Structure 1
Amino acid sequence: MRVPQISKKKNWQIFLSGVTIGGCISWLIFIYMFGVLQEEQTNIIERQKADITDLKSHISIWQEEFKKLNKKNQEMLTVQKVEVKITNFDRYKIEDSHSIFEVEEMIKEDLNVLLAKDLNTVYQNKDLIKKTIENKTVKINDKRYNVKVKEIYFFTKVQIYLELRLAT
């Protein structure tokens, strides 16, 4: 069997030219649609990049503001509570915890002026606070004791640890 000649059959020529032209047209339509979709995707990506950049700059601005506010608030901290503890009362065999409590409360009352004061101011006056406490002579069970400051911690709660010494 042999293949018929194309030049003699017009139907075949029309068919093949139609397939070729249809393929070219469909290819052009495909390229156009693909280009339009890709352009839309590119525009979306560009908008998202711009949004991300904008949001990152907003985040950095907010973070800087929060850092400044935190720093400012930390500088403006005030004393909320004063806590006094006597650590060596068992050395002098003082078993009366009520007397120890009264001495701690008495010293705490003297230091109530520190409440609601700026933490920086209180820290700067720590030597004055220390001398105020150490000049006290307390009486427990008919014995007189001097108070010595062992440690002082400053934050919103001022913690003072004291030692008792026999008064001479």
Structure 2
Amino acid sequence: MRIPPFYRLPSFQRFFAGAVIGGIVSWMIFIFMYGSMHEKQTQKILDQQTQLDKLTSTLSYLQEENKELNEENEDELTIQEVRVKILNPTKTKVELLSLHRAEETLSQDLRSLLNQNLETAHDNKELIKKIIENKTIKLNDKPFRLEVKEIYFYTTTDLTLALKYEE
């Protein structure tokens, strides 16, 4: 068995030459298209990377600024409201209206705490406690003393007091 000698025919030679030249041309077109597409994608990635870097730096700057502002605001917090709650043990048997009036009176007395810095008020908490505990109030013509149970300092300061007979 023998391979036919088509390589001598000019039509086959032109066909093979055309196929080789076509392959080379198509490979060059492929390389050109792939290269230009790859270059566009690389440029797009670089643009996105620079944008990401800018946004990251802006975010970190804004977070730092926000943290500083929060710290400044926290330092400048003031007392906006003073709430007094008097607990009435069953053995004192004081009317609710009298307790409410006493709470209002104490709230008026503690008005000096309003718009005061939280740190200052917290530092003077023992003084506030002594002032309240040394105060004698009359309810139903009987003298009572107040005992501080709890004090919470924040923009709204809560005082929880207990009523005791004066001895």
Q: Aligning the two structures, in what range does the TM-score lie when normalised by the shorter sequence? A: over 0.9
Q: Distance in 1 between matches of 2:17 and 2:54?
A: 55
Output the amino acid matched with 2:137.
Answer: V
Partner of 2:41: 41
CA-CA distance at 1:122 after TM superposition: 1.1
Output the amino acid matched with 2:65.
Answer: E
TM-score, normalising length from structure 2? 0.93
Q: Distance in 2 between matches of 1:131 and 1:147?
A: 10
Task: In structure 2, list runs of 5 or more residues that go unmatched.
Answer: none
Output the amino acid matched with 2:58.
Answer: H
Partner secondary structure for residue 164 of structure 1? strand
Q: Distance in 2 between matches of 1:8 and 1:56?
A: 70
Q: Distance in 2 between matches of 1:159 and 1:123?
A: 12
TM-score, normalising length from structure 1? 0.92
Partner secondary structure for residue 149 of structure 2? strand
Partner of 1:27: 27
Partner of 2:66: 66
CA-CA distance at 1:66 after TM superposition: 0.5
Does 2:121 align with 1:109?
A: no
CA-CA distance at 1:90 after TM superposition: 2.6
Percent identical among aligned pairs is 44
Task: Please report the RMSD computed on the Cα atoms of aligned residues, expressed in angstroms.
Answer: 1.6
Partner of 1:98: 97
CA distance change for structure 1 residues 89 and 109 in 2, over 3 Å: closer, same or farther?
farther
Q: Deviations over 1:39-96 (max 9, x none)?
A: 11111112212221221121111111101111110111010110001113433122x1
Output the amino acid matched with 1:5.
Answer: P
Partner of 1:140: 139
Q: Distance in 2 between matches of 1:73 and 1:35?
A: 56
Partner secondary structure for residue 98 of structure 1? helix
Output the amino acid matched with 1:66.
Answer: N
Moved over 4 A (4+): 1-4
How many residues end up aligned between the 2 structures?
167
Q: Distance in 1 between matches of 2:71 and 2:157?
A: 20
Partner secondary structure for residue 52 of structure 1? helix
Q: Distance in 2 between matches of 1:100 and 1:108?
A: 12
Q: Deviations over 1:102-139 (max 9, x none)?
A: 01110100001111111111111112211221221111
Task: In structure 1, list runs of 5 or more residues that go unmatched.
Answer: none
Moved more, 69-78 or 83-92: 83-92
CA distance change for structure 1 residues 106 and 7 in 2, over 3 Å: closer, same or farther?
closer
Partner of 2:79: 79
Partner of 1:12: 12
Output the amino acid matched with 1:127.
Answer: E
